[in-house]
Structure 1
Amino acid sequence: AQQGLTPVLCTQTAGGVTESEYVDLLLEQQVAGVVFAGGAYAQRDADHAHYDRLAARNLPVVLINAAIDDLPFPRVVCDDADAMEQAAEHLLALGHERIGLVLGPRDHVPSERKLAAFQAVCERAGVPFDDALVVRSLYSLQSGQASAARLIEQGATGILCASDPLALGAVRAVRRARLSTPGDVSVIGYDDSAFMASADPPLTTIRQPIEAMGRAAVDFLVSQIDGTLGPVDELLFEPELVVRRSTGAARHRAKS
Structure 2
Amino acid sequence: MTTPKGSEPPKRRRGPRTPVGTTTLAQVAQAAEVSEATVSRVINRKYGVSPATRQAVEEALKQVGYERPLDNRLVLMLTPNLKNPIFAQQAERVENELNPYGLTSIICPVYPGTPRERDYVESLVDAGVAAIVFLSSSNTLRDEDHRVVQFVESRGIPYVSINGGFPESDAPVVSTDDWRAAELAVGHLHDLGHRQIGLLAGPTGNLPADRRVEGFLTAMERRGLDDPEAFVARQHFNVEGGQQAAATLLAMGATGLVASSDEMAFGAYRAAERVGLRVPKDVSVVGYDDSPVLDFIGPPLTTVRQPIERIAENIGRIVTSLIANRTVSSEEILVEPELRLRASTAPAPGRP
- Pick one of 140, 146, 169 that aligns with 1:71: 169
1:90-131: CA deviation from partner (whole Å, max 9, x where unpaired): 111111111111111111111222111221122221111333
8 Å CA contact 1:184, 1:251 repeated in 2: yes
Query: 2:142 touches 2:205 (CA, 8 Å); kept in 1?
Result: yes
- Asked which structure has the greater RCO (Cα within 8 Å, sep 6+), the reply is 1
2:327 to 217, 224, 229: 229
The CA distance in 1 between the partners of 2:256 and 2:124, in whole Å, is 44
Does the aligned pair in 2 maintain the 1:43–1:67 contact within 8 Å? no
Counterparts of residues 90-101 of structure 1 (less than 5 Å):
90-101=188-199
Looking at structure 2, the residues matched to 17 and 140 of structure 1 have their Cα atoms a distance apart, in angstroms, of: 23
Deviations 1:192-247 (A, max 9, x none): 11111222111000111111211211221111000113323211111000111101
**Other-structure match for 1:140:** 238
Matches within 5 A, 1:161-180: 161-180=259-278
Partner-residue secondary structure (3-state), 1:7 = strand
Q: Aligned match of 1:122 in 214, 220, 242? A: 220
- How far off is 1:13 after superposition? 6.0
Q: Deviation of residue 71 (structure 1)?
A: 2.1
C-alpha distance in structure 2 between counterparts of 1:207 and 1:112, whole Å: 18
1:15-54 equivalence runs, <5 A: 18-54=116-152
Normalization by structure 2: what TM-score? 0.68
Distance 1:151 1:24 in 2: 44
Structure 1: 5+ residue stretches without partners: none
Structure 1 residues 144-163: aligned runs within 5 Å = 144-163=242-261
Contact 2:142 2:167 in 1 (8 A): no
* Aligned residue pairs, count: 251
Amino acid at match of 1:186: S
Instruction: Measure the CA separation in 2 of the matches of 1:75 and 1:219.
Output: 12
**Could you say what secondary structure the match of 2:317 adopts?**
helix
Matches within 5 A, 1:196-207: 196-207=294-305
Q: Secondary structure at the match of 1:143?
A: helix
Aligned partner of 1:107 in structure 2 is 205
TM-score normalised by structure 1 residue count: 0.92
* Counterpart residue number, 2:309: 211
1:159–1:188 CA contact under 8 A, matched in 2: yes
Distance 2:238 2:215 in 1: 23
Q: Which amino acid in 2 is paired with 1:21?
A: D
State the distance in 1 between where 2:260 and 2:341 align: 16
**Aligned-partner Cα distance in 2 for 1:70–1:98:** 38
1:220 maps to 2:314: no
1:148-175 CA-to-partner distances (Å, cap 9, x unmatched) read 1111111111111111111111111111
Unaligned runs of 5+ in 2: 1-98
Q: Post-superposition shift, 1:60?
A: 1.2
Contact 1:132 1:154 in 2 (8 A): no
Larger mean Cα displacement after TM superposition, 225-234 or 85-94:
225-234
Contact 1:141 1:167 in 2 (8 A): yes
CA distance in 2 between partners of 1:17 and 1:230 (Å): 29
The structure that has the greater radius of gyration is 2
Tell me if the contact between 2:136 and 2:164 (Cα under 8 Å) persists in the aligned partners.
no
Residue 167 of structure 1 aligns to a residue in which SS? helix
